């Protein structure tokens, strides 16, 4: 009897063999774009996202579970909406900071819903305000919400729970922004280091225990590490120690640690392994970025699970069908015999993707994905 997607994912996490490699595609952007534009193919009309995935014979990514709710004390938090923008203001005794994000009513291939737009660090005084925000942030467990979500997902998949980012990369992406962050580190080194220390301590004392005690097994903590923005020497200084300690805590509780890997990780493959990550989720490869699937397998072996391997560019109409077929042959050749691998699209099946190619991958998995995988 065939295994379920849930059973296959758990087999990969447990380093056991399964009947075939799991195939889990993120269809969110494609599906919601089709709804917004009114051109969902007729055979999918009336279906929700999970039902479309079943029809295409891919599993459920199950990324919407939660195990905590952030709570802010002794400050006022205001949420504001304007056309195309959402802002969140934190008003403290030391002043106010603002996070701004792009919103899109119509999902498209060129607009990422929730993309950071405005960053709270505008001057040196903002560091103290952000320290205050961190010091007065708490994480209230909501384990029953997670358990209900896991039951709802059922056999279609296995939940991966997002728990934010590590302090250093959160500073780069959200607090200062990539364009300004490294200037801040040089111009205000003491303030930067102190803020990072405060954020790290708060997460260790308040976030980590909530995650460790939760019923969730697969924890996503960390996003978008990149060879350019988090190069090896900075990764080793600011990221590796944090995750070595966090991953050890999770491993002691029987949990697995993943990071969202849809950037070019060619230069940091060794650092990812040294940090203690168990999985690279939405792992992006050439021809979309520099790193290849072969390089990742050589660096990680079966120690780091690759969840990905299909860069979304190969699903585009501009990517020749013969090259698509050859790329997929290369995937099966590289991953054989199939250990530590979940086939997925990095990062999403995009609004302009050919959905027929998703179905074709389902066919290939059914024809050639049996464990142990044999190149074809």
pLDDT at 297 over 90: yes
N residues, the chain: 376
Q: Output the pLDDT for position 114.
A: 65
Report residue 105's pLDDT band, with 50, 70 and 90 as the boundaries: low
Residue pLDDT, tens place only, 326-375 = 999 999 999 999 999 999 999 899 999 999 999 999 999 999 999 999 99
CA dihedral of 342, 346, 348, 350, whole degrees rounded to 10: -130
Give the distance, in angstroms, between the CA of residue 82 and the centroid of all CA atoms in the same chain: 27
Are 52 and 359 within 8 A, CB to CB? no
Q: What is the pLDDT of residue 18?
A: 93
Q: Inter-axis angle of helices 189-202 and 126-135, to 10 degrees?
A: 10
Strand order of the β-sheet with 85-92 is: 76-82, 85-92, 95-102, 116-118
- DSSP annotation of 94 reads T
Helices (H) and strands (E) in the chain, counts: 15, 12
Band (pLDDT 50/70/90 cuts) for residue 104 is: low
pLDDT of residue 294: 98
End-to-end C-alpha distance for the chain, whole angstroms: 24
Find all residues with CB under 8 Å of 276, minimum gap 6, and list them: 243, 244, 246, 247, 248, 251, 257
Which tokens belong to 326?
A: 């050859």
| 35 SS3 class | helix
pLDDT band at 111 (very low <50, low <70, confident <90, very high): very low
Strand-pair category, 76-82 with 68-72? unpaired
pLDDT at 85: 85
Residue range(s) occupied by CATH 3.20.20.210 in the chain? 5-71+137-368
Tell me which fold the domain 5-71+137-368 belongs to. Answer: TIM Barrel (3.20.20)
Number of neighbouring beta carbons within 10 Å of residue 16? 12
Q: Where are the beta strands (DSSP E) in the chain?
A: 68-72, 76-82, 85-92, 95-102, 116-118, 137-141, 160-162, 218-223, 256-260, 279-283, 305-311, 341-346
Residue 109, pLDDT above cutoff 50: no
């Amino acid at each position: 009897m065939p295994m379920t997607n849930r059973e296959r994912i758990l087999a990969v996490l447990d380093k056991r063999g399964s009947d075939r490699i799991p195939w889990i595609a993120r269809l969110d952007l494609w599906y919601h774009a089709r709804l917004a534009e009114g051109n969902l193919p007729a055979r999918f009309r009336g279906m929700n996202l999970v039902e479309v995935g079943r029809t295409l014979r891919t599993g459920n990514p199950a990324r919407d579970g939660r195990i905590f709710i952030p709570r802010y004390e002794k400050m006022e938090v205001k949420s504001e909406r304007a056309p195309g923008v959402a802002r969140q203001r934190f008003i403290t005794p030391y002043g106010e900071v603002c996070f701004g994000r792009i919103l899109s009513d119509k999902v498209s291939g060129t607009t990422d819903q929730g993309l950071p737009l405005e960053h709270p660090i505008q001057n040196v005084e903002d560091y103290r305000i952000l320290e205050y925000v961190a010091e007065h942030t708490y994480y209230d467990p909501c384990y029953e919400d997670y358990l209900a979500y896991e039951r709802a997902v059922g056999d279609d998949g296995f939940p991966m729970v997002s728990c934010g980012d590590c302090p250093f990369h959160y500073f780069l992406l959200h607090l200062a922004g990539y364009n300004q962050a490294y200037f801040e580190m040089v111009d205000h080194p003491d303030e930067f280091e102190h803020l990072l220390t405060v954020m790290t301590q708060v997460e260790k004392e308040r976030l980590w225990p909530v995650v460790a005690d939760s019923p969730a097994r697969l924890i996503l903590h960390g996003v978008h590490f990149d060879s350019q923005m988090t190069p090896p020497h900075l990764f080793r200084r600011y990221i590796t120690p944090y995750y070595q300690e966090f991953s050890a805590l999770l491993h002691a509780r029987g949990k697995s640690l993943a990071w969202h890997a849809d950037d070019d990780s060619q230069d940091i493959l060794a650092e990812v392994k040294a940090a203690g990550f168990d999985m690279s989720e939405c792992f992006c490869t050439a021809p979309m970025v520099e790193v290849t699937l072969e390089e990742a397998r050589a660096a990680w072996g079966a120690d780091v699970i690759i969840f990905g391997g299909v860069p979304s560019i190969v699903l585009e109409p501009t990517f020749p069908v013969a090259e698509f077929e050859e790329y997929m042959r290369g995937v099966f050749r590289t991953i054989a015999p199939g250990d530590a691998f979940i086939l997925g699209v990095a990062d999403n099946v995009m609004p302009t993707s050919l959905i027929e190619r998703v179905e074709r991958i389902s066919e290939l998995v059914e024809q050639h994905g049996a464990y142990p995988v044999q190149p074809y």
